[in-house]
Amino acid sequence: MSYCRKEGKDTIVFVTKEDHQKPSTVEIPEPEPGPGLILPDGAINWNCPCLGGMATGPCGMEFREAFTCFHYSQAEPKGSNCYSVFEEMQDCMSRFPTVYNKDDEEDFSMSDVDKNVTNTDEDEGLESRHNKSDGAIEKKM
């Protein structure tokens, strides 16, 4: 004979061996998906794990300003009006290399990006070209 008993916030269920032999009839609902990076109202979800903690830490505010600028940018190419806030974010991150894992081999600045856009023949056999339609830098072998 099975029965339930409440003790404070807990419910204690006593079941018999026969109760355990029957298949369960409990249906567990599917978990609701998380909101993701962009919330239903169009705002940025700063708690999204996809940001990898970039929105917090010593340069969290700079990251938020740069990401917000890019997200809401109407400029063509997208984000091209956000150069200064991304540069501020990069400057901040360079002051905290242990937090942001700065690697000398992968180090570059926004001025290096400008050089790649304007100096097309300096890349030792690689041809760099700026695609004006989408703002991307393409490299051809």
* Domain boundaries defined on the chain: 49-103, 108-141
Cα 70 off chain centre by: 13
* pLDDT at site 136: 44
**Average pLDDT over the chain, rounded to an integer:** 77
Q: Give CA–CA dist 134/60, Å, rounded.
A: 28
Structure tokens at 105: 């081999």
Say what the pLDDT of residue 19 is.
85
C-alpha 21/C-alpha 110 separation (Å) is 67
77 — pLDDT class (breaks 50, 70, 90): very high
Q: Which structure tokens are listed for 36?
A: 């993701």
The answer to whether domain 49-103 has CATH 2.40.160.60 is: no
Which one-letter DSSP state was computed for residue 31? P
Beta bridge partners of 128: 139
